[in-house]
Structure 1
Amino acid sequence: MKLIHFVFHHDTQYIALLTWFCFVSADANVYQRTNDIFLQNTFLTLRNATRVKCCAYCNQTDDCMSVSYQESTKTCKLSRDPLVSVFVNGQTDTSWKSYSKNEWLLVFRGTPGIGGDIYTAWVDGDDVTVDNATCMTTDSTTCDKNYRNPIVDSWTSIGMQQVKFAFYKDNEEAAFVVFNATGSNITSWFSSSNIIQSSWTSLATDSFNYFSILGHDPGRRFMINRNYGGCPVDTGYSIIVINNAFQCTYDIQTSYPQFLFSTSTTYGTAETMSGMDKADVMAIFIK
């Protein structure tokens, strides 16, 4: 793959062929090129278009995530396929190139208080929705399911580079961790050895007794925990409580699951909720 920068300024078009980035105006998207790929999930065709116009039209069109462009015919086809699904849904064709927005794709939204095990919802797709629009967002809505994008089932063949795990409160991102996803499977990316960046700045140098999606079975999932020492001194960053199996105060909730997260740049104490809060939404993104 190679990245090309498309730069737009008012009515004048400029193309800057640089080494690694592609910009479409000051506030728009980076487009990544994939050679010899035709995207099959297209919804609009433009004729006599330049590559610049092709990407610009995508940038201004709702739901457009990628384009297929054929230089010989100046044909542009807009697609809803994101960058991470290019190799899954694309067809090999040497006369076409694809250009995709290099941005985060929401692949899972966890909803609190709806019951069930969020681990099996993520890993196996148990009792999830794939198309309910109220669940395909990080905003607080009437959603009563977990959302899971079917592309998750193709995890090892997607070729994504990063995963972002995040909590949302009052429709704002409240905490996040970005992981290196290269060579990962559906659960192995969630590891302290894969941390790239986090709102919890102490995370990268801390030590843990639990750092996994399975967590402390059978009651605590997506667990990033520093230590146990009796409920009052348990400290950590992230716990999704799915039942009251362990009988600490923070395990006893009026409904499940509940998303507990540290609100500062370091860890909190779940038993007293000191430096902790309950999130409205948990989300997983890939790119």
Structure 2
Amino acid sequence: MADGSWKPDIICLKNVIFRVVTGNGLSTSSAWKNGTGTTADVHCRVISTNTSCNGHYRDPIIDKWDTLNVQTVRYSIYKNFEEVAWIDFDGIGSSNTKWFEKSRIINSSYQDISSSSTFNYLQIEANINAEKRRFYASVSFGGCKGDILYFVTVDSEGSCWYDQIIPFPSISYSKTQTMANTSEKENFDFGDTAVVSLK
């Protein structure tokens, strides 16, 4: 496993192309796909709970993905200005909707994630009954109290406890170095923000 030393430049964040603003009530999947509820103001790339930026940050280059010669894409979750969870994906030959995939996993902060891992969901957008789960890394379902997952962003209220962390969107993640069972709430924490960065 790599030590995760590659991180966005905390000062100017020039390689961050997307940043989730938790609690703003706006869809993260629509923001990523269509730019709904987003801003291109570069000041909103700052990894903080910057209340002056109400929209999710989205760099317009996302719409030109095929011209970017993307090598590596990192999805990261931040808590108290620290990167607490991440996965690196192989971006070569990808598209802006086809990079967050099992076969593209290169490395992760989680010790048990690899391209041979088993997931029931590893998707940017997952609609499961009433649940609207985004950037979702899930291993298996066990009736809400026994679900096993790594992390999830939730856009609106659903049936499980981690679908009910308001205000939305909210980010839940395993704070262990492995997948965690949702019956053990002490193994989860809530992210301040999440970002997509290009390397």
Flag whether TM exceeds 0.5 (same fold): yes
Q: 1:219 to 1:272 in 2, by over 3 A?
A: farther
Is contact 1:104-1:286 (8 Å) kept? Answer: no
Q: State the alpha-carbon separation in 2 of the partners of residues 104 and 203 from structure 1.
A: 27
Q: State the alpha-carbon separation in 2 of the partners of residues 171 and 151 from structure 1.
A: 25
Q: State the alpha-carbon separation in 2 of the partners of residues 131 and 241 from structure 1.
A: 24
SS in 2 for 1:232: coil
Is contact 1:268-1:274 (8 Å) kept? Answer: no
1:270 to 177, 182, 193: 182
Q: 1:132 to 1:144 in 2, by over 3 A?
A: farther
The number of aligned residues is 185
2:126 to 206, 215, 240: 215
Is contact 2:37-2:55 (8 Å) kept? Answer: yes
Other-structure match for 1:234: 147
Q: State the alpha-carbon separation in 2 of the partners of residues 145 and 276 from structure 1.
A: 26
Indicate yes or no: 2:106 matched with 1:196.
Answer: yes
Q: 1:116 to 1:271 in 2, by over 3 A?
A: farther
SS in 1 for 2:61: helix
Other-structure match for 1:124: 34
Q: State the alpha-carbon separation in 1 of the partners of residues 173 and 90 from structure 2.
A: 21
Gaps of 5+ in 2: 1-10
Indicate yes or no: 2:48 matched with 1:139.
Answer: yes
Q: State the alpha-carbon separation in 2 of the partners of residues 270 and 239 from structure 1.
A: 12
Q: Output aligned runs, 1:147-186, within 5 Å.
A: 147-186=57-96
Gaps of 5+ in 1: 1-61, 64-102
* Structure with greater contact order relative to length (CA < 8 Å, sep ≥ 6): 2
TM-score (norm 2): 0.87
Q: Residues 153-197 of structure 1, C-alpha deviation per residue, up to 9 Å, x if partnerless?
A: 101121111100000000111111110001111121101111111
Q: CA RMSD in A?
A: 1.9
Q: Which amino acid aligns with 1:224?
A: A
Q: Cα distance, 1:149 vs. partner?
A: 0.6
Q: Output aligned runs, 1:1-287, within 5 Å.
A: 105-131=15-41, 133=43, 135-142=44-51, 143-204=53-114, 205-217=116-128, 218-245=131-158, 247-270=159-182, 272-287=184-199
TM-score (norm 1): 0.61
SS in 1 for 2:145: helix
Q: Residues 193-225 of structure 1, C-alpha deviation per residue, up to 9 Å, x if partnerless?
A: 111110011011431110110123451111100
Q: Which amino acid aligns with 2:88?
A: V
Q: State the alpha-carbon separation in 2 of the partners of residues 237 and 169 from structure 1.
A: 15
If you compute each CA radius of gyration, which structure gives the higher value, 1 or 2?
A: 1
Q: Cα distance, 1:237 vs. partner?
A: 0.6
Q: State the alpha-carbon separation in 1 of the partners of residues 148 and 135 from structure 2.
A: 15
Q: Residues 39-92 of structure 1, C-alpha deviation per residue, up to 9 Å, x if partnerless?
A: xxxxxxxxxxxxxxxxxxxxxxx97xxxxxxxxxxxxxxxxxxxxxxxxxxxxx
Q: State the alpha-carbon separation in 2 of the partners of residues 234 and 161 from structure 1.
A: 33
